[in-house]
Amino acid sequence: MTGLLVVTAVPAEAEAIQAGLTDPTVAVVPVGVGPAVAGAAAARLLALAEGAGRPYRGVVSAGVAGGFRGRVPVGGTVLGTRAVAADLGAESPDGFIPLDDLGMPAELLGGGTSIAVDPTLLATLRAALPDATVGPVLTVNTVTGTAASTEALSRRHPDAVAEAMEGYGVAVAAAHAGVPFAELRTVSNPIGPRDRDAWRMREALVALTAAASALR
């Protein structure tokens, strides 16, 4: 059995994590942006490891994220409690309807649109990162970029702390493989009207390097 598999969206995130690692058994792989490619790549990596007789002990979706104002600061670290597919569902005159509420048979929903992280893995990360903000992390296909969409998203998910684009896909892959899952993010910008000049990517990557020592 091998150690943790950590998947990121882009190489810069992987490099930031590798710079802070203290455990040589942790594998860090950039797999691409979005839940579909992240889920497919994570599933392949988990299957290859299992087929080789060296399954991973767990998989972590890691990288930078947007944080909800008042819930987590820019540069802060987030540990997810659940990976939520925040825009998987249907629009209606009465508002957004999550896929879970559309009346589909349970067998078609997989793990549902909200997948809990592994409690043991989360507890280990929380012990190593006591100052991290803990709460659900939303997975979106379209990054939130207006005040109206931010308000709607915040209203639907009042306990969510951040949004990113890969966690739910990786969580589904982990659930199908029977492997513990967790999500670790650092915040580069507040969720809201899109303003690239206000993003603090460098600070978020530095924070990701600092948090990487918890991955063991």
Q: Which of 153, 16, 150 is nearest to 96 (CA)?
A: 153
Residue-wise pLDDT tens digits, 104-150:
765 566 668 889 999 999 999 999 999 999 999 999 988 888 888 88
The overall average pLDDT reported for the chain is 91
User: What CATH class is the domain 4-214?
Assistant: alpha beta
The tens digit of pLDDT for each residue in 11-56 reads 999 999 999 998 999 999 999 999 999 999 999 999 999 999 999 9
Q: Report the alpha-carbon distance of residue 30 to residue 64 in Å, rounded.
A: 13
Q: Closest by alpha carbon to 85, among 156, 23, 4, 6?
A: 156
| Cα separation of the two ends of the chain | 14
Query: Where does the pLDDT of residue 211 fall: very low under 50, low under 70, confident under 90, or very high at 90 and above?
Result: very high
Residue with token string 């942790």: 26
pLDDT, residue 130, reads 96
Q: What is the chain's length?
A: 216
Q: Per-residue pLDDT averaged across 55-84, rounded?
A: 95
Side chain identity at 173, as an amino acid letter?
A
Secondary structure of residue 75 in the 3-state scheme? coil
**CA distances for 158 relative to 14, 40, 68, 193, 194, angstroms:** 30, 29, 10, 19, 21
Q: Which of 184, 168, 187 is nearest to 67 (CA)?
A: 187
| Tens digits of residue pLDDT in 90-106 | 787 877 877 777 777 65
Q: What is the DSSP letter of 118?
A: P
CA-based nearest residue to 183, from 210, 199, 164, 209: 164
Q: What is the pLDDT of residue 203?
A: 94
- Give residue-wise pLDDT tens across range 148-203: 888 888 888 999 999 999 999 999 999 999 999 999 999 999 998 877 777 798 99
Q: Are 35 and 41 in contact (CB under 8 A)?
A: no
